[in-house]
Copies of this chain bind each other. A is one copy, B any other.
């Protein structure tokens, strides 16, 4: 998905929110805003929004002189999610459709996104959980998700944020996880999950976890390591979690299921859904394009 003009004001607001979250120094807040404005004035609008997010957060880390300014926040939400984990797991095991319940919970965890909202708190998370379990869910793609998972031999699960990764574990446990590799970010960016968070979530004990070598808040392929890129090209299915992964991979020709909460109006418009909606959506992959061509013939 490429940058929309509406994204630009949002970059400026997000940069200010992020700067305020990581330092009280008002001079740095102003410096961040001014540098983001200069950056945005010459923006290449054909890029995906996380390419700018990557630059903005490099800038902020540089100006505050910290490699991982969201470290405390990530720890806090990991702990919060781990406290909820046993009860949520029980709920999944006791439900009529374990996979659907697990997907609903994985989407609830997607609320922990400090790129979109710098003031997420515990009660937002609790509300997201109860809302996600009760909300309408367009599960038409559920069967095709199940089929794709059965047929695939190598599945990449592209994780999104810290804390949220514990909710991802709940979903991964409902998958044939011997075929699944979890992918985290190569370096800290916003509150995106890195290897440290995967370890806290207990994932490496049950499954292979790799990192993508990048500090992009999404999966910016050209910014990822060649090791990750070759795993990505070999895998026959990817499950891409969250807005950043949707923004960076929605135009990539690959079998991908996007799993997210549409939190911003631009992404909701791009997806053709309402803000707040839970999304399980298959990519327009080569196969679909072939199908469409066949249908048209």
Contacts and interface: CB of A to CB of B under 8 A. Distances in A.
Interface of A: 5-6, 8-10, 12-13, 16, 26, 29-30, 33-34, 37-38, 40-41, 43, 45
Given A12-B8, A29-B5, A41 B37 contact: yes
A95 to B, nearest CB: 40
Contact of A10 (B9, B26, B30, B38): B9
A41 B45 contact: no
B6 A16 contact: yes
A32 B278 CA distance: 34
A31 to B, nearest CB: 10
A42 to B, nearest CB: 8
A24 to B, nearest CB: 13
Interface of A is mostly: helix
26 contacts: A5-B16, A5-B26, A5-B29, A5-B30, A5-B33, A6-B13, A6-B16, A8-B12, A8-B16, A8-B33, A8-B37, A9-B9, A9-B10, A9-B12, A9-B13, A9-B16, A12-B12, A30-B45, A34-B41, A34-B43, A37-B37, A37-B38, A37-B40, A37-B41, A38-B41, A41-B41
Nearest to A34: B41
Contacts of A5: 16, 26, 29-30, 33
9 A-B pairs with the lowest CB-CB distances in the bound complex, closest first: A9-B13, A37-B41, A9-B12, A9-B9, A38-B41, A37-B40, A37-B37, A5-B33, A34-B41
Contacts of A45: 30
Q: How many copies does the complex hold?
A: 2
Nearest to A20: B5
Contacts of A9: 9-10, 12-13, 16
A212 to B, nearest CB: 30
Nearest to A4: B16
A8 B12 CA distance: 8
A15 to B, nearest CB: 9
A236 to B, nearest CB: 39
Contacts of A33: 5, 8
Contacts of A41: 34, 37-38, 41
Nearest to A42: B34
Contacts of A26: 5
Contacts of A6: 13, 16
Given A9-B9, A9-B10, A37-B38, 18 more contacts: A5-B26, A5-B30, A5-B33, A6-B13, A6-B16, A8-B12, A8-B37, A9-B12, A9-B13, A9-B16, A12-B12, A30-B45, A34-B41, A34-B43, A37-B40, A37-B41, A38-B41, A41-B41
Contacts of A8: 12, 16, 33, 37
A124 B10 CA distance: 25
